[in-house]
Amino acid sequence: MMGLGQVSIVGAGQIGTMIGQALMAADQSWGVLGVGLLDRDPAIAARALALGGGDRELVGMDQVLAADVIVLAIPVAGIVEWIERWGARIPPGSLLIDTGSSKGAVVAAMERMIPAGAAAVGGHPICGSESNGPSAARLEALRNAPFVLTPVGDDAHALALATRLVESLGALPVTMAAASHDRVVARSSHLPHLVAGTLARVSRGSGLVDPSARALLGPGFRGATRLAESDPEMVASFLIANTAEVTSALEEMVAELTRLAEALSIGQGAVADLLGEGAAARRELLGAPR
């Protein structure tokens, strides 16, 4: 099978750096000939290069477009904008893939803009954290992590190329439709971001910033609010791109919180029943034994 060749990565943050590190460390059998990085902030690109995320900094989009594989590791709104502006220039035989956590708008833009002969697949590695920048890249987090691939039309060749790329990273390709992906992540990822920030704001408004109260902010609070530390612009970008599903998820959350408030007015047994439902739901979702 043909090697991956030259790879361009647009966006040298946590995910872009992580992918670059994996490609630089890939076995020669994958045929990676080089990894170039482009970031709007040259200092970030330089930091990613110093961390092994590539072997050269790219200057200008012409250099990006000359690659055999182009990875867009930028916020979702920027991914769609990039495809609209540059997608028609993807060379025949090259692969375009992204890493955004909302896929519907990205795949639709790929369908509109990517020319015949070029390959495009939506992508989403499930391995990021709330930390930002190249220093947050953790190569071990990518290994054996699910990497969702959302096909563009019925292009089996493009999907095969994207699968090979994901496997070269040590990640596990998971193929699903963009709509299915967005429905799931609205509840598994996007809603938790909203809940984490909301819980932090409610707690601050309740006076827990007082030093004497801060000692009560234990592991439960810290874990539940961890995602509030994520880059707000990045999170807002994928929330807006997935507005319909996120709105539905929020409505479902409000309904469940209303049930909980009603249970509190009934008594301990009613509250315990709902908490038990939640525990059972978590075990079912994670495939965990009772």
Domain ranges, ordered by start, for the chain:
5-176, 180-286
- Convert the pLDDT of each residue in 122-145 to its tens digit: 999 999 888 889 999 999 999 999
pLDDT at 128: 85
Q: What value does the mean pLDDT of the chain take?
A: 95
Tell me the average pLDDT across 227-249: 95
Contact 275, 264 (CB under 8 A): no
Tell me: pLDDT of 217 over 90.
no
Indicate whether 159 pLDDT > 70.
Answer: yes
How far is CA 156 from its chain centroid? 23
* Over residues 22-40, mean pLDDT: 97
Instruction: Place domain 180-286 in its CATH homologous superfamily.
Output: 6-phosphogluconate dehydrogenase C-terminal like domain (1.10.3660.10)
Which pLDDT band, with edges at 50, 70 and 90, does 215 fall under? Answer: confident
Using an 8 Å Cβ cutoff, are 107 and 159 in contact?
no
pLDDT in tens, 93-104: 999 999 999 999
Residue 289 has pLDDT above 90, yes or no: no
The CA distance from 106 to 29, in Å, is 31
In three-state secondary structure terms, 186 is: helix
Q: Is the pLDDT at 290 greater than 80, yes or no?
A: no
Q: Which of 112, 124, 134, 109 is nearest to 53 (CA)?
A: 134
Closest CA to 225 of 255, 247, 203: 203
Lowest-pLDDT choice from 73-82, 188-197, 215-224:
215-224
Taking each continuous run of H as one helix and of E as one strand, the counts in the chain are: 14, 8
pLDDT band at 214 (very low <50, low <70, confident <90, very high): confident
34 close to 3: Cβ distance less than 8 angstroms: no
Residues near 257 by Cβ (< 8 Å), separated by ≥ 6? none
76-100: average pLDDT:
97
Predicted pLDDT at 264: 97
Average pLDDT on 78-86 reads 98
Q: Residue 89: what pLDDT?
A: 97
Of 116 and 214, the structure prediction assigns the larger pLDDT to 116
Residue 129 pLDDT: 85
Question: Using 50, 70 and 90 to split pLDDT, how confident is the model at 204?
Answer: confident
pLDDT at position 1 is 52
Between 1.10.3720.10, 3.40.50.720, 3.30.930.20, 3.50.30.10, what CATH number should domain 5-176 receive?
Answer: 3.40.50.720
Is the pLDDT at 174 greater than 60, yes or no? yes
Contact 52, 63 (CB under 8 A): no
| Tokens (6 digits) for 111 | 């369908």
d(CA 274, CA 267): 11
Instruction: Give CA separation, 141 vs 118, 128, 234, in Å.
Output: 30, 8, 20
Reported as a single tens digit per residue, the pLDDT across 187-201 is 999 999 999 999 999
Arithmetic mean of pLDDT, 206-225 = 84
Tokens of 45: 């690109």
